[in-house]
Amino acid sequence: MVRSLLNSAPLSLEPGDREELILRAAKPGWFELPEAFVREGAAGCALEDAEGRPVDASFDPARSALLLPGWRRFFNETSAAVWLEWLGPGRFRVLVENLPPSDETPADGSPQRIEFVAADLEILRSGALEPASSIEFDLALEAAQLSIQSGFDRLLCLPMLRDMQILDHQTRTARTVLRRLRGRALLCDEVGLGKTMEAGIILSELALRGLARSILILVPPSLIEQWQGEMRRKFSLELTSHDDPLFRERGVDAWKDVDRIIASFHTAKREPHRSAILARRWDAVVIDEAHHFRNRSTRLWSLGSEIQREFLLLLTATPVQNDLEELFNLVTLLEPGLLSTAHGFQKRFVDRKDRLTPRNLDELHRLLGEVMVRNRRSTTGLQFTRRWARTFCVTPGDRERALYDAAATLVRRRLGALREGKAGVARMGCIQLQMALGSSSHAAAGILETLSANEAVPEAERRDLESLTAAAREVTESAKADRLLGLLDEIEDKVVIFTQFRATQAMLRRRLGEAGHDVAVFHGSLTRLEKESAIRSFQERARILLATESGSEGRNLQFAHNICNFDLPWNPMRIEQRIGRLSRIGQSHDVHVFNFVASGTLEAAVLHLLEAKLNMFELVIGEIDMVLGNLDDDQEFEEVIADAWGASSGIDDFARRMEALGDRLKKAKEAYIRQRGHDEALFKDRFAPEG
């Protein structure tokens, strides 16, 4: 399968991916280069032909162009196209696609004559027009065909979407936004109805029609990978993340050179990124969880109001929290002046005694109808199955417990020392080690070995790490794995088992294989074909899918309805993303979630927090972020946990700190429920998309 490399991050390239080379008509021998090839560092890359022979070429980075001195042998009478194929880091192949023989070709092979009318012939002879290549002609023809489509009554992109169930309310939303709202809309569907899918359909349609070449998507940090996976697999839209190493390597210039970018709110609002974003005009901008932008006094709202764009989508299930002015602020990002000024809005539409109670509701609804679409579960006819969660809190073996206590104590003390600026293992290394300890001794051993090899670590600390590494290598048992095998004997259906670590995955694969289980394995290092094969094997034959976090990105696994979290990410958003691969629109069975933790550990305290205070496994997919957004904390949840662990004197003290955090979460959830009630009263059944 040929997949476009344009606007794709280098890390997403896989052997066999191709992009067609465009010959510059006015510059014989010069070819337009795919952006991914430019990012790969084309100046030092090796080009070869179909037989593996070197191809002489030179690269002009200023023009993003490639010069092939022998270009005529690639473009001759029998060539239809020339492709650039990625073989691996630093290696590309030039491939020629030949035209099939035509029934109209003369038997003697002589070229056919083309007759021109006199007026056209005179233009050609005058030299007023530069000749176009056959490829440029094909592109112009395709553009002409797209341009004759009248309006957006018919969505051209739908036949090209894949791996998704396209729902009626989503296509109606896309048509409404494109046809009536002119591509600027506040998408306020209730949680779980697929606002991301609606945005993807709209972006695909705009891109296909040539209306959206440059795209900027701003999301909370925890949603970047999920958005990338969904857009790539379902809509063939490659989004380059700001965190991509080569993007960061190029510095500020990357913001103007890369056309399809996804970034976190926190990145976008900081300099120099903010200025770079504002320095160019974007064809389309999407802001997910846009309720983070509803305060006009924040840097986020200021950023949103200053971005130059043609089309803008704001996605949020809760546009109002404390004050109707928040709704005014979001609408003003889309259509300044639609709701008058802030003072005029307050005077006409807000009750003086209660800033959440609207006045002149019919008129307010009429104005909101010019920018807002809202689908409700009760009106879409969609049914959501239930989720049932069970926690297995197992007692680790003596050597497992000794390793955990020693390594976790080192992490806790090191996190505390980092606040005082002391040298040693970096914060991210500490967090990774603590998470690995909650997974398995096999995962912990690998992280410990990596940390001990760091020359920047003080000698005394390195000795401790080396000693712990040796101890971890000696721990072969896993109480959680033993309990997992018992659970698999109790249930008969297919199961997806998630872990964050490849070492844990390898251990589980061996243990499950020895127990006679048929297992498919999925992780990020597999090639595209291997990934597809793993999913197909799980769907058709294997009872168990062993997946790392990459298995929760953009994959639809609804044919299964049992999920096992062998280890737990600290961020509940990531846990929700795992569950969301099974528990989503279209799932016909109740979904059973099995969580494994070792007693007396940080992970057990975090899971208790999520279950007892948040009841997270009972929430609809998407509601977790609504709750966390009410914490009003700029830190990611993992950072909050790490800070609490570093400030604790031990596991008991940490558990008390989790109780305090749990009280904050409980209040945040209550605030979300109140918001949901306000939305029901304010919007009612209005703003459904047109039929």
Average pLDDT of the residues in 568-581: 85
Q: Which residue would you say has higher pLDDT here, 529 or 217?
A: 217
Q: CA distances (Å), 155 to each of 163, 177, 207, 331, 561, in order?
A: 18, 12, 12, 26, 33
Residue 436 tokens read as: 């690995």
Does the pLDDT of residue 22 top 70, yes or no?
Answer: no
In the CATH hierarchy, which top-level class contains the domain 158-380? alpha beta
3-state secondary structure of 122: helix
Q: Euclidean distance between the first and final Cα of the chain, in Å?
A: 36
Q: Residue 24 carries which side chain, given as an amino acid letter? A: R
Looking at residue 133, its pLDDT comes to: 75
> Quick check: 38 pLDDT over 70?
no
**Section 20-41 average pLDDT:** 60
Residue 6: pLDDT band (50, 70, 90) is very low
More confident residue, 286 or 352: 286
Where is 283: in which H helix or E strand? Answer: strand 281-287
The phi, psi pair for 244, rounded to 5°, reads -60, 130
Report the distance separating Cα 211 and Cα 22, nearest Å: 21
d(CA 484, CA 566): 8
Contact 199, 304 (CB under 8 A): no
**Residue 425 — pLDDT band, cuts 50, 70, 90?**
confident
pTM of the full structure: 0.67
For residue 675, give every residue at least 6 positions away whose Cβ sits within 8 Å of its Cβ, in sequence order, or none: 318, 320, 321, 626
pLDDT above 70: residue 494: yes
pLDDT band at 224 (very low <50, low <70, confident <90, very high): confident
Q: What is the mean pLDDT of the chain?
A: 83
- Provide the 8-state DSSP code for 307: -
pLDDT in tens, 527-559: 767 888 888 899 889 999 999 876 545 566 888
Q: What number of helices (H) and strands (E) belong to the chain?
A: 27, 21
Residue 151: count of CB within 10 angstroms of its CB: 8
| Maximum mean pLDDT: which of 94-103, 178-187, 528-537, 550-559 | 178-187
Going from the C-alpha of 612 to that of each of 359, 391, 562, 621, 658, the distances in angstroms are 39, 12, 22, 18, 11
Q: Shortest CA distance to 90 belongs to which of 125, 157, 45, 140? A: 45
Q: Which residue has the tokens 């700001």?
A: 242
pLDDT tens digit sequence for 318-328:
888 788 999 99
Q: Check: CB of residue 213 under 8 Å from CB of residue 281.
A: no
Q: Is the pLDDT of residue 176 over 90?
A: yes
Position 500 confidence tier, pLDDT thresholds 50, 70, 90: very high
Stronger pLDDT, 22 or 288, i.e. the higher one: 288
In this prediction, residue 482 carries a pLDDT of 96
Cα–Cα distance for residue pair 26/139, rounded to 1 Å: 17
pLDDT at 104: 45
Question: Residue 531: what pLDDT?
Answer: 82
More confident residue, 674 or 59: 674
Quick one: average pLDDT of 48-53? 72
Query: Rounded distance, CA 416 to CA 427, Å?
Result: 10
Distance CA 671, CA 687 (A): 24
Q: Give the class (CATH, top level) of 1-101.
A: mainly beta
Contacts of 500 (CB under 8 A, 6+ apart): 435, 436, 439, 443, 548, 549, 567, 569
139 vs 391, higher pLDDT? 391
Nearest of 264, 268, 207, 267 to residue 238 by alpha carbon: 207
**Res 513 pLDDT > 90:** yes
263 forms beta bridges with 218
Higher pLDDT, residue 366 or 112? 366
Nearest to 387 by CA among 576, 571, 607, 195: 576
Residues 601-627 have pLDDT tens digits of 999 999 998 888 878 777 766 677 777
Which of the 8 DSSP states describes residue 613? I
| Helix (H) / strand (E) containing 224 | helix 224-235
- Decide if 1-101 and 158-380 have a common fold: no
CB 19, CB 37: distance < 8 Å: yes
pLDDT given for residue 18 in this prediction? 67
Q: How far apart are CA 680 and CA 684, in angstroms?
A: 5
pLDDT computed for residue 11 by the predictor: 39
Cα gap 250→7, rounded to integer Å? 15
Decide if pLDDT at 304 tops 90: yes
Q: Report d(CA 339, CA 86) in Å as an integer.
A: 52
Q: Which residue, among 553, 564, 568, has the nearest Cα to 638 in the 3D structure? A: 568
Q: Say which range, 30-34, 203-207, 340-344, has the weakest mean pLDDT.
A: 30-34
**Pair 452, 469: CB distance under 8 Å:** yes
Cα torsion 560, 564, 567, 568 to 10°: value is 70
Residue where the block lists tokens 């020693």? 406
Q: What is the 3-state secondary structure (H, E, C) of 331-381?
A: HHHHCCCCCCCHHHHHHHHECCCCCCCECCHHHHHHHHCCCEECCCHHHHC
pLDDT of residue 15: 61
Query: Which is it for the CA torsion 467, 472, 473, 477, positive or negative?
Result: positive
pLDDT at 260 over 90: yes
DSSP code of residue 495:
E
Greater model confidence, 186 or 86: 186
Q: Please report the pLDDT score of residue 1 as a whole number.
A: 26
Q: How many residues are present in the chain?
A: 691
Residue 318 is predicted with a pLDDT of 84
Q: Which residue has the higher pLDDT, 56 or 411?
A: 411
Written as one letter, the residue type at 65 is A
In the 3-class helix/strand/coil scheme, how is 570-584 assigned residue by residue? CCHHHHHHHHCCCCC
Least confident of 205-209, 656-660, 678-682: 678-682
CATH second-level architecture of 479-683?
A: 3-Layer(aba) Sandwich (3.40)
Is the per-residue pLDDT at 426 higher than 90?
no
Tens digit of each residue's pLDDT (9 = 90 or more) over 467-493: 999 999 999 999 999 999 999 999 989
Per domain, the residue ranges of the chain are 1-101, 158-380, 397-474, 479-683
Q: Please, what's the b/e burial string for 374-385 (b: 16 or more CB within 10 A of its CB; e: otherwise)?
A: bbbbeebebeee
Look-up: residue for tokens 């280890």?
A: 567
CA-wise closest residue to 329 among 360, 305, 361, 354: 305
For residue 621, give the nearest of 593, 641, 599 by alpha carbon.
593
Angle between helices 398-419 and 459-474 (to 10 degrees): 160
- The dihedral built from the CA positions of residue 376, 382, 383 and 388, taken in this order, carries a sign that is negative
Among 121-135, 143-157, 221-235, 240-254, name the one with the lowest average pLDDT: 121-135
E-assigned strand segments in 403-523: 495-498, 519-522
Report the range of poorest mean pLDDT among 22-36, 240-254, 302-316, 509-523.
22-36
Residue 14 pLDDT > 80: no
